């Protein structure tokens, strides 16, 4: 079972916003109570936060799916939904956040650093919040938007000032145990250290961290042994310490050849620029430590190879982790390298943070800059027919907030798009009535046939709540059409009247049309016998 995990793939999703409520106040003796639907609550966000009590990513190795709570729905009587709580995930110091393609999203170095991995969705407005002077009682509310979803990669890169590198069983774990309070596993067989170990060392007024990583062997860059996987933990280090075993009995090994092998493996390792230090590992300050001089043969070998290392330009220290011989001078030498690197980094950061003061721009009173375009329109083709795709944060969010089962909500969406300028831009792009228009470019996009007559002004239409007269299939006749229809009705009445008169003359009816007309006007006495057709 894994006990140390330094790389995980995390699937995070923010909480969904709650839907707004459609409600009208109903109270005795108050027929016009007005809308009182509450707003939905915002969804919770997924936040990564550095905690000094967290040392591994093991928890997220077992639980890679993390979802923040949803927001509550709005209710009547102006009861707003509660917001979903943020989901805080604690990570160790030195955690690098990347996307699936390897792009760095955040580098969390200090305790308390935060990164919002997935924002929560927005809560929808209730009809009370949508009411205006012209739309006094909206029959719709806005839906809550879904939270963001993302697949992120968490890589732990230990924050160590000095890194111990060398062959397995060279004495790295024994060295970090001798100079700090760390207690790594120590045994007399190779690859005892399977996870990085950190120790804090105090040298005078300088305190620094030393990292002990699993041993390297020849061919580690090709995957032999434990490979290069743990070298990411020394990318932030200021200096490297080569721990060389002078008491090894393995054939074909000696301090010089061991040093050349380790140095070659460091050259084959490509430093991730996100570590904050872009200098390759083999070009950083290095110290050579000849270990196990408590063994007589090892002491003689160390004295023999020391001049050769010094000719290469390296500082050489002969130590024994068993008797602690030579450790004091070593820890002060490492402290000097760390202090020099800290001073250099502070100067570089100060130079980078220097603020350049720009000359103020004087504009005339009432000057307005050009309005920033909040969306783009891209012309595409689908089945040899034009298709116009609208892409922008606002239009895509408005689509998610619209209840397409409610005609009034659809009309409100049309008004918002028109005010944003989508209609005008579609005209400029060459769109015609009936062309397909798509808002969004993901699976949640909405496609519809564009009708340019759908302009703003729904609040001026006296239609029932939840409806929009512009969406009804009613063709309003022109004045000429009304005149023709009127003449057709008059002609039809005249023909019907003539037909009745002809039927009366033929004896089908016993009263004339004129007699019946006079009878209605009261000019003829109802007791008088009706005229006889034969007379």
Annotated binding site: 166-173, 191-195, 212-215, 291-294, 320-322
Residue 353 host element (H or E): none
Please check whether residue 135 is in contact with residue 75, taking contact to mean a CB–CB distance below 8 angstroms: no
**Residues ≥6 apart with Cβ < 8 Å to 120:** 14, 15, 16, 17, 42, 43, 44, 45, 68, 71, 83, 84, 86, 147, 148
Tokens of 98: 């990347």
User: CA-CA distances (angstroms) from residue 161 to 111, 158, 235?
Assistant: 17, 9, 10
* Residues that constitute the known binding site for Mg(2+): 173, 193
**DSSP three-state, residue 356:** coil
From the DSSP assignment, how many helices (H) and strands (E) are in the chain? Answer: 11, 18
Helix then strand then coil, in percent of the chain rounded to 5, is 30, 20, 50
Measured CA to CA, the distance from residue 409 to residue 376 in angstroms comes to 24
Binding-site residue ranges for GTP: 166-173, 191-195, 212-215, 291-294, 320-322
Distances (CA, A) of 511 to 420, 497, 499, 503: 70, 14, 14, 10
**What's the rounded Cα separation, in Å, for the pair 319 and 342?**
26
Q: What is the DSSP string of 174-203?
A: HHHHHHSS------SSTT---S-EEEEEEE
CB of 101 closer than 8 Å to CB of 24: no
Residues forming a β-bridge with 381: 386
**H or E element: which one contains 8?**
strand 7-13
> How many other C-beta atoms can be found within 10 angstroms of the C-beta atom of residue 172?
32
């Amino acid at each position: 079972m894994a006990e140390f995990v330094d790389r995980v793939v995390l699937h995070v999703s923010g909480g969904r916003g709650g839907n707004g409520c459609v409600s009208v106040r109903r109270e005795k003796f108050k027929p016009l109570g007005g809308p009182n639907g509450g707003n939905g609550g915002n969804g919770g966000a997924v936040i990564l936060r550095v905690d000094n009590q967290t040392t591994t990513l093991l928890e997220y190795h077992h639980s890679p799916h993390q979802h923040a709570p949803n927001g509550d729905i709005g209710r009547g009587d102006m009861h707003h939904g509660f917001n979903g709580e943020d989901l805080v995930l604690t990570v160790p110091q030195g955690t690098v956040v990347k996307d699936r393609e390897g792009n760095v999203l955040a580098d969390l170095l200090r305790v308390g650093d935060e990164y919002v991995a997935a924002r929560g969705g927005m809560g929808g407005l209730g009809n009370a919040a949508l009411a205006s002077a012209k739309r006094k009682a909206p029959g719709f509310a806005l839906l809550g938007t879904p939270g963001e979803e993302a697949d992120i990669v968490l890589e732990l890169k230990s924050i160590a000032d000095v890194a111990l590198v060398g062959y397995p069983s060279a004495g790295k774990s024994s060295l970090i145990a001798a100079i700090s309070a760390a207690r790594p596993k120590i045994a007399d067989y190779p690859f005892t250290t399977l996870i990085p170990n950190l120790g804090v060392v105090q040298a005078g007024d300088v305190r620094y961290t030393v990292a002990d990583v699993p041993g390297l062997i020849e061919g580690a860059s090709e995957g032999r042994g434990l490979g290069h996987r743990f070298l990411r933990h020394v990318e932030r280090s200021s200096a490297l310490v080569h721990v060389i075993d002078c008491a090894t009995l393995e054939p074909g090994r000696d301090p010089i050849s061991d040093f050349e092998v380790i140095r070659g493996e460091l050259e084959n390792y490509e430093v991730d620029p996100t570590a904050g230090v872009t200098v390759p590992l083999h070009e950083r300050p290095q110290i050579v430590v000849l270990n196990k001089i408590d063994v007589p043969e090892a002491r003689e070998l160390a004295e023999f190879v020391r001049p050769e290392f010094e000719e290469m330009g390296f500082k050489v220290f002969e130590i024994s982790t068993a008797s602690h011989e030579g450790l004091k001078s070593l820890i002060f030498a490492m402290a000097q390298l760390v202090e020099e690197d800290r001073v250099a980094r502070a100067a570089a950061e100060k130079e980078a943070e220097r603020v350049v003061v720009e000359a103020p721009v004087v504009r005339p009173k009432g000057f307005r800059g050009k309005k920033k375009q909040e969306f783009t329109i891209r012309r595409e083709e689908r089945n040899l027919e034009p298709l116009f795709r609208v892409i922008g944060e606002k239009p895509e969010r408005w689509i998610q907030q619209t209840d397409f089962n409610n005609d009034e909500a659809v009309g409100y969406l049309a008004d918002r798009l028109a005010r944003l300028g989508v209609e005008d831009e579609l005209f400029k792009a060459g769109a015609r009535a009936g062309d397909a228009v798509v808002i969004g470019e993901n699976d949640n996009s909405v496609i519809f046939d564009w009708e340019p007559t759908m302009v703003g002004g729904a609040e001026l239409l006296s239609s029932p709540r939840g409806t929009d007269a512009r969406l009804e299939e009613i063709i309003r006749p022109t004045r000429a059409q009304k005149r023709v229809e009127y003449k057709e009705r008059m002609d039809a009445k005249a023909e019907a009247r003539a037909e009745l008169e002809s039927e009366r003359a033929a004896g089908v009816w016993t009263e004339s049309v004129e007699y019946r007309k006079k009878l209605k006007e009261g000019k003829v006495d109802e007791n008088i016998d009706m005229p006889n057709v034969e007379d």
